[in-house]
């Protein structure tokens, strides 16, 4: 028997009209005055307690069957006893047994996605279909999609639409492919990985069809599909050679930005997509020692007028673009001697210092020390303690990312200066350099080390490990995209010191944690690259500080 709450004592007519009933006998006063037949009153005891046994048994059998099937599909990895760090690293960021139905936003999304058709005509088993819905809900909840029309309130309706232009269908396939790829790694479901692979192929075919139409190629849906494909590559690229897949999609997005021109900045959605891609394109150019497209810089100048409140972010992007162009010019042997390169790099360094000096108070952050007895922090951080037990707290994730963009750029430009000084000393003598210049080089080494440490201290904020009120088995909305953004900054910080240094080992462990618990395979590839790198300071100078 189930208690169903206290029912209304009014007669049927008063309850249907939603008016107060005086429960008079043999008929209520409302019905008597209106000259209606009073239907009488209900049995209160029978209403307060109902026999729900059959319903409960039916639901329990269904839930047990679903969990049993999922348990067969998810064999537990044996973990040696007494190794809590490894145990945490092998724990998915979303617990396989976590009840998504406890999350109100998930309930809302699941209701809207209940009628979602199976992708590409494939009819997976019922439990895979449920997991697919949960994948899309988790993806939307994780805030992985930029743009104002990609919200949890609007995208379910967008996903349920049938037909439409190729660009729209391509983005639908991209959402399903990327979402299922994420959850297949988090929950280790091979059948979902197959769904993701099929949807990825379907998305590529639809995207090619959209790109063949000049008008379709300019739509937000086409550009959004390309962004999603780049995220898919980050999620699924485990081998270091596969990292180029992300670069190819970013190059494709760059070509689309050229086609869209400045008209893309006239709408809020187009502007958001541009800002998201601008950062990705500049990072890609930095990685490849390539020049930043001139069209992107021209659009950034327009954005400076459209967004005067975001002047610091736009200005920083222009400085980092100059840094990428400098690396491209060095690679193309555009400079006559080392002194010219040092002068150009020093000018960029001066711009970064000026940017830092002009920051407003809202860019301030605080540094905290983790208590040795705060075991919950390490549990939320998946078995890893903050580097040197200190971490930062920023006003917003955007502020945190701006700081790390500055730090990464400052490390790279300082490395250029130190490396060129080393080459000059090889041809002459380090003693021939002025004492002031030698002092500047020592300052640069200290700055590089300090900035690398600060990047490491920002990691708990990205993953919200310090938030004590979060459910341990479900990450906050910012954590997944925080893991994606961290890959570049952790790489820059990780290669500063030699392979035996504690900071290097901490960065590798952190990247492995992101890869294993969030299912971002590219983090594991970056961890391999960082572990094998000789180190920036080792390569630029042998002088001991």
Q: Which of 119-123, 347-351, 388-392, 465-469 has the highest mean pLDDT?
A: 347-351
The pLDDT-based confidence of 72 (bands split at 50, 70, 90) is very low
Strand pairing partners for 49?
3
**C-alpha to C-alpha distance for 164 and 161, rounded to whole angstroms:** 8
**pLDDT of 120:** 41
Most confident of 161-170, 193-202, 468-477: 193-202
Mean pLDDT for 224-239 is: 86
> What is the model's pLDDT at position 275?
86
Interval 99-105 mean pLDDT? 47
The hierarchical CATH code for the domain 7-37 is 4.10.240
CA distance 511 to 287: 18
pLDDT band at 74 (very low <50, low <70, confident <90, very high): very low
Q: How would residue 70 be classed by pLDDT, with cut points 50, 70 and 90? A: very low
pLDDT at 126 over 80: no
Average pLDDT value for residue range 528-540 = 83
Which pTM value belongs to this model? 0.74
Instruction: Indicate the pairing of strand 49-50 with strand 2-3.
Output: antiparallel
pLDDT digits (tens, 9 = 90+) for 498-529: 999 999 999 999 999 888 887 788 999 999 99
pLDDT in tens, 461-490: 888 765 544 444 444 544 677 888 899 999
pLDDT at position 80, please? Answer: 37
Whole-angstrom Cα distance, residue 68 to residue 150? Answer: 35
Where along the chain do its domains lie? 7-37
- Provide the token pair at 299: 């659009």
Minimum mean pLDDT among 107-116, 302-311, 342-351, 375-384: which range?
107-116
Under 8 Å between Cβ of 237 and 525: yes
**Token pair of 151 as six digits:** 């919200």
Q: What is the mean pLDDT of residues 248-255?
A: 87
Task: Give the residue-averaged pLDDT of 147-168.
Answer: 60
Residue 15 has a pLDDT of: 83
Q: In whole numbers, what is the pLDDT of the chain averaged over residues?
A: 77
């Amino acid at each position: 028997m189930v208690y169903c709450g206290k029912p209304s004592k009014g007669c049927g007519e008063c309850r249907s009209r939603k008016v107060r009933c005086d429960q008079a006998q043999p008929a209520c006063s409302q019905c008597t005055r209106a000259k209606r037949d009073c239907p009488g009153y209900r049995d209160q005891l029978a209403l307060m307690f109902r026999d729900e046994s059959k319903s409960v048994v039916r639901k329990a059998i269904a839930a047990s069957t679903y969990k049993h099937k999922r348990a067969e599909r998810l064999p537990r990895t044996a973990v040696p006893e007494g190794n809590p760090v490894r145990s945490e690293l092998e724990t998915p960021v979303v617990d396989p047994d976590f009840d998504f139905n406890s999350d109100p936003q998930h309930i809302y999304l699941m209701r809207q996605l209940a009628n979602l058709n199976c992708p590409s005509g494939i009819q997976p088993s019922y439990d895979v279909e449920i997991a697919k819905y949960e994948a899309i809900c988790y993806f939307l909840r994780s805030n992985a999609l930029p743009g104002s029309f990609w919200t949890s309130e609007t995208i379910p309706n967008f996903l349920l639409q049938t037909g439409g232009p190729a660009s729209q269908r391509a983005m639908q396939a991209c959402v399903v492919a990327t979402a299922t790829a994420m959850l297949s790694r988090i929950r280790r479901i091979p059948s979902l990985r197959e769904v993701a692979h099929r949807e990825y192929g379907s998305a590529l075919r639809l995207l090619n069809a959209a790109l063949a139409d000049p008008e379709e190629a300019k739509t937000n849906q086409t550009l959004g599909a390309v962004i999603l494909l780049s995220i898919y590559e980050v999620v699924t690229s485990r081998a270091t050679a596969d990292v180029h897949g992300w670069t190819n999609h970013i190059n494709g997005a760059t070509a689309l930005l050229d086609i869209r021109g400045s008209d893309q900045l006239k709408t809020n959605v187009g502007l958001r997509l541009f800002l998201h891609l601008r950062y990705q394109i500049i990072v890609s150019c930095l990685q490849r020692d390539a020049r930043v497209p001139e069209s992107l810089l021209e659009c950034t100048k327009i954005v400076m007028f459209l967004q005067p409140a975001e002047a610091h972010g736009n200005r920083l992007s222009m400085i980092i673009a100059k840094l990428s162009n400098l690396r491209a010019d060095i690679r193309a042997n555009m400079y006559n001697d080392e002194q010219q390169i040092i002068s150009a790099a020093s000018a960029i360094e001066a711009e970064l210092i000026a940017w830092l000096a002009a920051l407003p108070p809202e860019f301030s952050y605080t540094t905290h020390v983790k208590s040795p007895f705060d075991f919950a922090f390490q549990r939320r951080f998946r078995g890893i303690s903050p580097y040197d037990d200190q971490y930062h707290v920023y006003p917003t994730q955007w502020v945190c990312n701006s700081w790390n963009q500055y730090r990464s750029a400052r490390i790279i430009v300082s490395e250029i200066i130190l490396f060129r000084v080393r080459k000059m000393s090889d041809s002459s003598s380090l003693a021939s350099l002025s004492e002031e210049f030698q002092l500047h080089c020592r300052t640069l080494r200290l700055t590089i080390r300090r900035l690398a440490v600060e990047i490491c201290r920002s990691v708990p904020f990205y993953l919200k490990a310090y938030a004590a009120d979060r459910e341990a088995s479900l990450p906050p909305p910012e954590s997944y995209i925080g893991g994606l953004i961290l890959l570049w900054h952790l790489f820059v910080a990780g290669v500063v010191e030699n392979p035996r240094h504690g900071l290097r080992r901490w960065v590798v462990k952190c990247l492995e944690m992101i890869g294993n618990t969030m299912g971002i395979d590219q983090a594991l590839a970056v961890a391999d690259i960082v572990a094998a790198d000789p180190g920036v300071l080792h390569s630029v100078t042998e002088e001991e500080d």
